[in-house]
């Protein structure tokens, strides 16, 4: 009887051993799968970190380029301002005998506003329209006179060229800014 119980106990222990061995093997397999998944995720994280570093470097380069272009644009604006000052001096020296263009333009705007906002007789309105016409003609003649002046023309051309460069730089700045 004792032997039977021992054999039963032995069988039971062998069965438990098989179950524990099977459970151990399943857990080992699960651990291997988890380790493999962990390694894949670590690799993916490492790649993403590298990608972020590369993108940061590229962004910094683009931002540096934008700063450089903005500095160039500001220099161009300074140059344009200086040319406008020269243009004003030249205009004043050419226009010694006549009224300044700005004054004529201001007078035209004032009279046009008056025409649009004030009720007047037909005769007064005709006289006002005639005055505006004369001022516009005078303005155009004065502008034509200025444009005939060689140095004045050179300054105007230079200003236009610089403004074109500013527009090009502004486009580049926008493109780099959008990319960053």
Instruction: Convert the pLDDT of each residue in 110-154 to its tens digit.
Output: 999 998 998 989 999 999 999 999 999 988 988 887 777 788 888
For residue 97, the model assigns a pLDDT of: 65
> Tens digit of pLDDT for each residue in 77-114?
999 999 999 888 887 777 666 777 888 899 999 999 99
Say how many C-beta atoms besides its own lie within 10 A of residue 10's C-beta: 10
Mean pLDDT confidence for 58-73: 93
**In whole numbers, what is the pLDDT of the chain averaged over residues?**
90
pLDDT tier at 3, thresholds 50, 70, 90: confident
pTM of this structure: 0.54
Q: How far apart are CA 89 and CA 84, in angstroms?
A: 9
- Structure tokens of 99? 């009224």
- Structure tokens of 131? 């005055």
Q: How far apart are CA 111 and CA 76, in angstroms?
A: 36
């Amino acid at each position: 009887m004792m032997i039977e119980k021992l054999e039963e106990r032995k069988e039971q222990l062998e069965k438990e051993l098989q179950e524990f061995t099977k459970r151990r093997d399943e857990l080992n397999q699960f651990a291997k799968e988890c380790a493999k998944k962990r390694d894949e995720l670590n690799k993916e994280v490492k790649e993403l970190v590298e990608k972020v570093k590369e993108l940061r470097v590229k962004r910094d380069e683009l931002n540096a380029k934008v700063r450089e272009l903005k500095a160039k644009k500001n220099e161009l604006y300074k140059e344009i301002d200086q040319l406008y000052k020269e243009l004003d001096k030249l205009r004043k020296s050419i226009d010694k005998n006549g009224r300044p263009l700005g004054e004529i333009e201001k007078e035209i705007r004032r009279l046009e506003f008056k025409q649009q906002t004030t009720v007047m007789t037909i005769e007064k309105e005709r006289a006002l329209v005639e005055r505006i016409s004369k001022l516009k003609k005078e303005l155009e003649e004065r502008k034509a006179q200025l444009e005939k002046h060689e140095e004045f023309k050179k300054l105007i051309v230079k200003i236009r060229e610089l403004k074109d460069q500013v527009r090009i730089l502004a486009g580049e700045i926008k493109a780099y800014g959008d990319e960053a």
